[in-house]
Each structure stands twice: as C-alpha cells, then as structure tokens.
Structure 1
C-alpha cells in the first residue's frame, strides 16, 4: 500500500522531494475531466442524413456519441477529442469533420 503524500510543489524543490511519477494516488474517471478542449477538429452531426446505425458509437474511443433508445441524439463535446474515427466510419455522410472554432 502506498502512503499518500501531499506536496506543494515549488521551483526550488529537487526531484527527491516530489511525488513519485507513475503512481496513481486516487482512482479517476474520464467523466471527471473535460478533455474536449484538446481537439483542433470536431465532428458535426447532420440529423437528416443519420440512419441511427450506431457504427459511430461503436468506434468512438471516448464514448462521446450520445445514444438514447437505440438512436443517436448528439455528441458530447466536453469529452470528444476530435480524432475523426466516427466521421470516417459513417457510411451515410451524417458526420462532417470541421476545424474547431
């Protein structure tokens, strides 16, 4: 068991005084962090072209495709990192890949 150690990091500290790297202090969850700010491109959903096949949902590594009752309802932009995998998978042109504004 790792003993928890809280450290206030200052510029004059040496590496020996810092928390060891690679040690997870607390359990985490991607839902706890807004990671969508990382993207430079983003998918845009065209509801009229969408057939709700959910192939985009299957391939999304961030679980950012919102689905209710077996149909796509939108995109979670707080967690979408803009990888474009969903847009490449869409066979119906329902997802466009555009620069983040």
Structure 2
C-alpha cells in the first residue's frame, strides 16, 4: 500500500539557504493587530514564519524580505521596515 505522506511536498526552512544577509526590508510583526489567520505563514516562500500556540515569530536568518507576508495580511499586523 502506498503511503500518502510520500506524495506530499513539505517545505523546508529556507530551502534556498539563509537569505537574511542580503535583505533590504524586513517584516515587523505587531501581535495586537494579528487575528491569527496565518495567511502570512501560508504564503511565506521561505517558510521563515513560525507559529507556536498562536505566537508568530519571524526567522530573520531565512526571511528574504520579499514582503508577501505584509501584503497578504488582512489586519496589517506585518509591516515592512527598511534594514539598518
């Protein structure tokens, strides 16, 4: 019998490697605005957004600063900020 597990693609964190070193913008998370819809986590191409017990964390070593998370967030709980 074929296992369904082997047919599912599973993203790995930063499959293209650590990308945080060349990022020019980074997402800043505001937990007070967040409604925990997790669209940011779903759409993150680098799987740099982690969710534990409704707590959202961004792994900046893998975040490439593309801004997809901020654009998709319906409550604007993520805002892009220029790197220092």
Q: TM-score under structure 1 normalisation?
A: 0.64
Determine whether 1:58 maps to 2:42: yes
Give how far 1:84 is off: 0.2
Whether the 8 Å contact between 1:43 and 1:87 is mirrored in structure 2 is yes
SS in 2 for 1:74: strand
Matches of residues 1-80 of structure 1 in structure 2 within 5 Å?
Answer: 30=14, 33-69=17-53, 71-80=54-63
SS in 2 for 1:98: strand
Deviates more, 1:49-58 or 1:29-38: 29-38
Determine whether 1:82 maps to 2:82: no
Which runs of no fewer than 5 residues in structure 1 stay unpaired? 1-28
Cα deviation digits, residues 58-94 of structure 1 (max 9, x gap)? 110000111113x242100010000000000000010
Highest Rg: 1 or 2? 1
RMSD value over aligned CA atoms?
Answer: 1.9
Return closer, same or farther for 1:49/1:79 CA change in 2, 3 Å cut-off: same
Which runs of no fewer than 5 residues in structure 2 stay unpaired? 1-12
Q: Structure 1 segments of 4 or more deviating over 4 A? A: none
Q: TM-score under structure 2 normalisation?
A: 0.76
